[in-house]
Structure 1
Amino acid sequence: MPDSTTPDLAARDPDMPDDALGLGLDVPAPEKPAAMGGAAYRVLARKYRPQTFAELIGQDAMVQTLGNAIKRDRLAHAFLMTGVRGVGKTSTARLIAKALNCIGLDGQGGPTIDPCGQCEPCVAIAEGRHIDVIEMDAASHTGVDDVREIIEAVRYSAVSARYKIYIIDEVHMLSKNAFNALLKTLEEPPGHVKFLFATTEVNKVPITVLSRCQRFDLKRIPTELLASHFADIAQKESVEAEVDALTLVAQAAEGSVRDGLSILDQAIAHADMDGDGKVTAAQVRDMLGLSDRGAIRRLFALILAGDAQAMLAEAKNQYNLGVEPLAMFAGLLSEVHRLTLAKVGTPHDGALDAEASALAEDQADRLSFPILHRLWQLLLKGQEEVARAAVPLDAADMALLRVIHAATLPDPGELAKMVAHGSFTSAPPASAPTALDIPTTPNVTSLIPADFPALLDRLARDGFVSLEMTLRDVIRLVEYAPPLLAYQLAGPVPPSFVPELRDALAKVTGTRWDLEERSGEAQPSLLEQEQAVAEAGRRAILESPLVKAAFAAFPEAELLDSDESESQWSKRA
């Protein structure tokens, strides 16, 4: 047995020098690492988990239904919460457990939609230690034996709570046998038992289980509500954040509160690295990789320009930087989708900076709906081919080249006209435009007609006959200063008149027009001018001596236009 002066070799500090052992030296004890100040950090998603139904954002309909059920004592024995990740399914289950078991500060309270959060059941449930509220993760307890334990336990009353509650998360992961074993108990449980299920894939839950539960579909949280929620949390965390930055975080969250809080956590850390601690839109855009959209926009612009060599070089460069061809096509499809939404007038995309927004607006004005739809179909087809190809990059090159050269193919409308008139040609002319007939730098001087009548003739010549007739009949010209057209309306027009006119003008002139309905002095419409000329000619004829003499001899005679006279003669014939 060692004496008291012999050092314990097994417990010695590994950094202690060997010659200090057994020599009776006064060796200082090794320094222990300083303890971290305060408690361990809790991520925002856990720290701000809703503790009351009032803190549960975006699920007002469900909260109202539950509140009415509790007030009227019409509580179901099983609840099923479904929805995408991070919208509050498990949190809702815990809140229901609190609401059903809360006893109030005086210990005499009953079920309530506003649990106090301070009584023993509320505190124990919030801390996950209540003996009568059992949480089970079905992803790791999938078998029939796990369910059999629940079936055996439900026969016994709650120990200290009003209800014994079973919260089963990701319930769709239970096996078929486990579901079958649970059915009878789920249909007729004891009065003191409640089942609360949560799942992200409700389609995998058997219909026999769904029919035994009261179902709540938790919605995705709108971007505006998420951004406001994140602003409140940033204020509580004493973090300064730009509104645009929080909007970007909310958009990236895709309706999930948990995803958004995780991104906000990361954004705050990213901002701290820069020194000032402010969360800016530029930092969030860079952190989320939104700057990579610039590369997709460059590739998309090269496709529109019809520059095949530059387009292939850009695609190869992105591939070398680690962008998979499938992701490349997904980005191009997203770009077409964004432009199409912009064309129909959806709100501005907050994920784009000012320069990118201006470019998107310009492209949306110059690209017609048929061209955007053709782009979508060609890219979608290319994405499918790339997904199946043995060499994805080669398939991507061929698909992108097909998109460029599709400009020389007629659209269905043109093809129908060609079939009707038999005007097929063997090949397009050498000077045929490329890239879907949308020039990136149009020659405005050579393409824009000199005056308004010439513009109408150009529209009719390029196939926009109906639109040309509408312009001729109802447009009173205020100012013609290409690419500005200011006008007044002499008659009704359809709601789609302005966007259709803008698309047609962009197609025939290659530039974006500003269309403005303006008050003030205006010229008569071309139809009104033609009618005025015809009326002046009619008056001149009536005032001529020969015609006056004819009317004096034949008082009941009428002066007919040439079209009217032909119609009268055809009827008589």
Structure 2
Amino acid sequence: MSSLALYRRYRPESFAEVIGQEHVTDPLQQALRNNRVNHAYLFSGPRGCGKTTSARILARCLNCEQGPTPTPCGECQSCQDLARNGPGSIDVIEIDAASHGGVDDARELREKAFFGPASSRYKIYIIDEAHMVTSAGFNALLKVVEEPPEHLKFIFATTEPEKVIGTIRSRTHHYPFRLVPPGTLRDYLGEVCGHENIPVEEGVLPLVVRAGQGSVRDSMSVMDQLLAGAREEGVTYAMATSLLGYTDGSLLDSVVEAFATGDGAAAFEVVDRIIEGGNDPRRFVADLLERLRDLVILAAVPDATETGLIDAPADVLERMQAQAGIFGAAELSRAADLVNAGLTEMRGATSPRLQLELICARVMLPAAYGDERSVMARLDRLERGVNFSGGGGAPAMAYVPGPEAHGTAAAAPVPPGGGVAAARAAVRASGPPTGPAPTGPAPSGPAPSGPAPSGPAPSGPAPSGPAPSGPAAGGAPGFGAAPGQPGQDTTPAPAYDAASAQAAPAPTGPAPGDTGSAQPQPSQAPQPPQASATPPP
């Protein structure tokens, strides 16, 4: 088998083989069909996304004997020279501006550029890492780029187009390249593994795509490393996680389930396994944040697997759907925020293990925080009936109502030696009670609307029989109670007491037989009728 690197062995030879850059390859092919090719191009984008490869394909299309054509024939001398394993063409010159970006290099290029091509249609300069050219070098190239001869073409490739001076950039056709989508890159890697005839487990390709971060060349380099170390059974998931440094999925499942069930012992056991296994705590937190991100998307979009929002094997997706179901929405969002903040704090931390344990404690103890997210997380746990075995803080103190919450107010103090009359006055000063209303029926007769009778009070002794036991209405003094005494008293009236009669206040009406010109008294509030002195039959 060839020792050539995997990304060089499978380098595209036509625009149709370039993946994930249709927004660039389609306009270029159409320009070749219309024979509207510009004299200078600027290809920009992240590393490993196909800039230099597309520049070589464009040069191949321009110098093909059947061209300019969007599909080079691959049979002519120019196409064979520019093939992936070809020797190269003397008329297609690649310059690394990182080492040839000075003004002297630019002047030498300018002097050679006016000579015609040796055997091809065009003389093409591919200037890679163009942002490394100095300002003096760009100024030396400015005139030849602005007004080149008919046989001359320039293709600038750079990862930082803003560092290319504006006078050069304005004279080119700028095509921005992008990172390749994960799904497209995973399918491409699967085809490459099929051509290599090496079996690869299902969970390996997502790890390779994640390690490549959208760069085709980086992903191919990682895949080449895994294929080089594969045994007879091929590339296994355990081998990939160990070699790439990612966290095993079982550890992520354990800690997520511990968060969901409030099992603090299980969560800190996972932390201990990570440290004892020699894994990087920062990598574990990053992987945990990635898992929580997938759970948040699954909770918000149940069909995320069908729409391609989550890229994971079928068994992992099944476990993640179950985990998203046992989490509450607020609790899941809070956990993701805490892990994200903890990952930021771990950069430069002197004790990554301590930071990791603090992250787990913050997620496990929502009762320790009084913010809105923590309160909502606690409500989610209560709704799901999760036991706070991880420690939920001290129980809240029970509410003890004060005396103002009861229906009756505090009684006024009674002066010593005041007797019954003083006690009644104290009751009047404290106000009527606000206890529960009586359950008996209220009297059906209408209340008197006129003023109270002003005749003389009876001077005979009060009867000693029991007073009527009918209930009072609305908490007012009952019909069977003495004037001024609190109502709802169904016990027999006490016997006549001479001392209380002497201490009772004198009536305010005119004396008997007084027909003088007394001043009229203001109208008084209606009072309930006095109880009959005759005992009920």
Q: TM-score, normalised by structure 2?
A: 0.62
- Residue in 2 aligned with 1:174? 133
Contact 1:408 1:434 in 2 (8 A): no
Shift of 1:439: 6.2
The answer for the alignment partner of 1:99 in structure 2 is 61
Cα pair 2:203 2:237 within 8 Å, conserved: yes
Contact kept in structure 2, 1:405 and 1:435, CA below 8 Å: no
C-alpha change, 1:289 and 1:230, in structure 2 (3 Å) is same
**Greater Cα radius of gyration, structure 1 or 2:** 2
Q: CA deviation at 1:360?
A: 1.8
2:309 maps to 1:347: no
CA separation of 1:326 and 1:244: change in aligned 2, threshold 3 A = closer
What does 1:1-400 align with in structure 2 at a 5 Å threshold?
40-103=2-65, 109-126=66-83, 127-240=86-199, 246=205, 249-250=208-209, 252-271=211-230, 273=231, 275-276=232-233, 278=234, 284=240, 288-290=244-246, 292-308=248-264, 311-343=267-299, 344-345=301-302, 346-347=304-305, 349-352=310-313, 354=315, 356-400=316-360
Instruction: Give the direction of change, closer, same or farther, for the CA distance of 1:376–1:248 in structure 2 (3 Å limit).
Output: closer
CA offset at residue 163 of structure 1? 1.4
Give distance in 1, aligned partners of 2:219 and 2:336. 30
Unmatched tracts of structure 2, length 5 or more: 389-537
Give the counterpart letter for 2:120 in structure 1: A
Distance 1:363 1:205, change over 3 A: farther
Letter paired with 1:233:
V
What is the CA distance between 1:368 and its match in structure 2? 3.3
Deviation at 1:91, TM superposition (A): 1.0
**Deviates most, 246-255 or 178-187:** 246-255
Q: Tell me which protein shows more helix as a share of its residues.
A: 1
Give the partner amino acid of 2:342: G
Q: 1:369 to 1:139 in 2, by over 3 A?
A: farther
> For residue 401 of structure 2, what is the aligned residue in structure 1?
none
Q: Which residue of 2 aligns with 1:570?
A: none
> Are residues 384 and 248 of structure 1, via their aligned partners in 2, closer, same or farther at CA, if it must alter by over 3 Å?
closer
Distance in 1 between residues matched to 2:311 and 2:177, nearest whole Å: 25
Using the TM superposition, give the Cα deviation of residue 298 of structure 1 relative to its aligned residue in structure 2, in angstroms.
2.8
CA-atom RMSD in angstroms: 3.5
Measured after TM superposition, the shift of residue 177 of structure 1 is 3.6
Aligned residues: 381
Read off the aligned partner of 1:382 and give its amino acid letter: G
Distance 1:325 1:43 in 2: 32
CA–CA separation in structure 2 for the residues paired with 1:441 and 1:350: 30
1:387 alignment partner, SS class: coil
Question: In the alignment, does 2:366 pair up with 1:406?
Answer: yes
Letter in 2 for 1:146: D
1:215 shift after superposition: 1.7
Residues 46, 179 of structure 2: 8 Å contact kept: yes
Partners in 2 of 1:298 and 1:341 — Cα distance? 20
Secondary structure at 1:259's aligned position in 2? helix
Given residue 125 of structure 1, which amino acid in structure 2 is its aligned partner?
Answer: L
User: Following TM superposition, by how much is the alpha carbon of 1:116 offset from its aligned partner in structure 2, in angstroms?
Assistant: 1.5
Percent identity over the alignment?
36
Q: For the Cα contact (< 8 Å) 2:260–2:326, is it kept in 1?
A: no
How far 1:359 moved relative to its partner?
3.3
In 1, the alpha carbon distance for the partners of 2:286 and 2:346 equals 11
Structure 2 letter corresponding to 1:54: A
Q: For 1:310 and 1:230, locate their aligned partners in 2 and report how far apart those are by CA, in whole Å.
A: 37
Structure 1 pair 339/413, CA: closer, same or farther in 2 (3 Å)? closer
Which amino acid in the other structure matches residue 165 of structure 1? I
Task: Tell me: CA distance 1:433–1:230, structure 2 relative to 1, closer, same or farther (3 Å).
Answer: closer
Within 5 Å, which residues of 2 pair with 1:425-444?
A: none
The aligned residue for residue 569 of structure 1 is: none
Contact 2:241/2:248 (<8 A) preserved: no
Letter in 2 for 1:135: E
Could you tell me how far 1:201 is from its partner in structure 2?
Answer: 3.3
Shift, 1:192, TM fit: 1.9
Q: TM-score, normalised by structure 1?
A: 0.58
1:322-346 CA distance string (max 9 Å, x none): 3334323222221211111222231
User: Tell me, which stretches of 5 or more residues in structure 1 are unaligned?
Assistant: 1-38, 104-108, 417-431, 444-573
In structure 1, distance between residues paired with 2:349 and 2:72: 58
